[in-house]
Structure 1
Amino acid sequence: MARHRSHSVAFKRQVAQEYLSGETLHGLAKRHDLSRNLVRVWVQKYEAGALDDDAAAADTIQAYEARIAALERLVGRQALELDFLKGALRSGPLPRSGPTSVIVGPAVSPSPRGAG
């Protein structure tokens, strides 16, 4: 199965410029081991200005902002859990394993052996 590759914005810009300078679509695709359709997409993006340095920086910033938002949600969730646990510690002692006290019931005299 083919592995998904990612290419830098500079490489995409270079391929698009080579195409626009007269290189054939087939020749570019074969030389760089790309599909012709992918080269077409990159040329369209290049012509639309989507492969500029500013566009690449904006994409990077958007990815960072999404990651920051995810981390902020995680920190908020952990802060709530810590507050909950601190409140539980203040409200009383932690349960211990095993019985904490002996319950004394009514005194029952053992029946004599052999009776019954």
Structure 2
Amino acid sequence: MSSRGPYRRHSAPFKLQLCQDIRAGVIGRRDAQRTHHISANLIHMWLTQFDRGELTSEEAEASVIAEYEAKIAALERKVGQLTMELDLVKKTSRPPHGASSGRSSIVTGPGGALSDGGAKL
């Protein structure tokens, strides 16, 4: 048996749809277990929640909205971090005005030092 790693999380819409399908007779519990690789205890727990009205489409939508809001917040933090890093790089990579002596090229870099007598063998 292969290891699946840490716990898997299933979305509220998935749970709701699976419970509706099982209760409507579209799919049996064992077929759901095999198809989605879910334990019987987990399906039983979801069906209990579904029967009590704890799994509803409103909760599923709220769950999806909460997931999106969390992703948006994480992306906003990342954008802020990258903006700060970019500002720091811009400040530190510029040489002071007038400090560069001689010609410089992006491709070749600063010009080489001139030799005073040429190469000697």
Q: Contact between 1:29 and 1:35, CA under 8 Å: does it hold in 2?
A: no
User: Could you tell me the TM-score, scaled by structure 2's length?
Assistant: 0.55
Between 1 and 2, higher relative CO (CA 8 Å, sep ≥ 6) is seen in 2
RMSD: 3.8
Q: Deviations over 1:71-91 (max 9, x none)?
A: 011100011011112222456
Q: Deviations over 1:45-99 (max 9, x none)?
A: 113323211111111111111111110111000110111122224562699878x
- Which segments of 5 or more consecutive residues in structure 2 lack a partner in the other structure? 114-121
One of 33, 52, 56 as aligned partner of 1:52: 56
User: Could you say which residue in structure 2 is the equivalent of 1:30?
Assistant: 30
- Runs of 4 or more, structure 1, over 4 Å off, are 2-7, 93-98
The CA deviation at 1:18 is: 4.5
Distance 1:2 1:45, change over 3 A: farther
User: Could you say which residue in structure 1 is the equivalent of 2:44?
Assistant: 40
One of 37, 53, 77 as aligned partner of 1:73: 77
Matched residues in 1 for 2:43 and 2:59: separation?
Answer: 18
Identity %: 30
User: Could you tell me the TM-score, scaled by structure 1's length?
Assistant: 0.57
User: Could you say which residue in structure 2 is the equivalent of 1:63?
Assistant: 67
Which protein has the larger Cα radius of gyration, Structure 1 or Structure 2?
A: 1
The DSSP-based 3-state class of the residue aligned with 1:92 is: coil
Matched, 1:92 2:92: no
State how many pairs are aligned: 94
Matched residues in 2 for 1:14 and 1:2: separation?
Answer: 28
Matched residues in 2 for 1:86 and 1:6: separation?
Answer: 43
User: Could you say which residue in structure 2 is the equivalent of 1:11?
Assistant: 18
